Structure 1
Amino acid sequence: MTAQAAQTAIRPANADDCSSLAALSLEVWCGTYLQNGINSHFADYVLSQYTPAHFAAALQNPAERLLVSQNLDGIDGYIRLAHGQPNPVDNQSRTEIMTLYVQPRHQGNGTGLRLLQAGLQLCRDNHWDAPWLASNSDNTSAISFYLRNGFEHAGLTHFRIGDSHYPNDVLRFRSP
């Protein structure tokens, strides 16, 4: 375990985290998906989705759980799970990993894996189905991460922003 990992704790998110979750989400989403510039189509979407109020509502939803990775300075990643979200490909699971984001400078040090493992344990503790997720089909590093950590391809869906749609790989966790 690295010194940084030893100084990091995975904990449930709380109301005081909402602005940090919004800022982290903006950083990761824009850095991942807006490679060639920012236009109003994407800016309007991301600014409407990742707000402190959006996270406050998620924290109040009994079907959702958010866990954060907290280091000495603040939150460097989070996982958001929702129960009652059917897998769009095979409808076998109703538990979705809606988001797993880690700040770019904290990627590669185990933060994502610790969050994923904590999220999987949360599913087991709540007697939720083994989770599924959708990842942008062009995000090969994220897809590789999930495949290395117990997920398998289940099919394809599309993420929609307005009239545009983008292919997403649907992955499901292989239950032991």
Structure 2
Amino acid sequence: MTSIVLKKASAEDLETLQQLGKETFYETFSKHNSEEEMQKYLAESFASEKLLKELNTVDSRFFIAWEEESPVGYLKVNSGGSQTELQDETSLEIERIYVKSSHQGKKVGQLLFDKALEIARQQSKKYIWLGVWGENKRAVSFYIKNGFTEFDKHIFRLGNDAQTDLMMKKTLD
């Protein structure tokens, strides 16, 4: 495998991020959800206007993992009031780490996680937190391996389906 390079995403990366977001979300969750619900979610969540607003939010940052000219994964982190739930100034939220199925198991997710950890430390955060679908055993195992523990649960809605996410956090030194 050639080396993976992380680059901060900007508005110029909108189309790349849309395609990558749709592809990785679909790969991860389509076998557990109806096609109709998936298509509705993808259309709404990765609409240009919505994603552009997220890209331009001051306390949110996106990074794309590139293998040569191909995007293979991405990270979205939020701090302060941009966090989806806790909005704790002492924490950083990992809202999304997604990697193409072709690159899972190749340390791309670890590179993206390490970037989030680096940002949290640069900002002197006390902990990192995230929500992960409890049925996504691979992701849950990844976060446990990286020192996360479960502290709560919340409901994630995919269309009409209410799914339980585990809320996990990692305290920083």
| TM-score class normalised by the smaller sequence | 0.7 to 0.9
Q: Which has the higher strand share?
A: 2
After TM superposition, give the deviation of residue 31 of structure 1 in Å. Answer: 1.5
Residue 116 (str. 1) matches residue 113 (str. 2): yes
Is 1:136 the counterpart of 2:133 in the alignment?
A: yes
- Tell me, which stretches of 5 or more residues in structure 2 are unaligned? none
Q: Which amino acid aligns with 1:77?
A: G
Distance across 2 between alignment mates of 1:125 and 1:81:
13
- Aligned equivalents of 1:36, 1:112: Cα separation in 2: 22
2:111 is the alignment partner of 1:126: no
Structure 1 residues 146 and 23: CA distance shift in structure 2, 3 A: same
- Encode CA deviations 1:13-67: one digit per residue, 9 max, x unaligned: 1222211111111111112111056432332122110134333212210010111
Q: Which runs of 5+ in 1 are unaligned?
A: none
- Identify the residue that residue 155 of structure 1 maps to in structure 2: 152
Alignment partners' CA distance in 1, 2:77 and 2:126: 11
Count of residue correspondences = 170
Give the Å deviation of 1:142: 0.3
The one-letter code sitting in structure 2 at the alignment partner of 1:152 is T
Query: Which amino acid in 2 is paired with 1:47?
Result: A
**Residue 110 of structure 1 aligns to which amino acid in structure 2?**
K
Q: Which residue of 2 aligns with 1:10?
A: 6
Q: Please give the root-mean-square deviation of Cα atoms over the aligned residues, in Å.
A: 2.1
Identity of aligned residues (%): 22
Give 1:79's match in structure 2, choosing from 55, 75, 78.
Answer: 75
Q: What is the TM-score with the length of structure 2 in the denominator?
A: 0.87
Partner residue of 1:145? Answer: 142
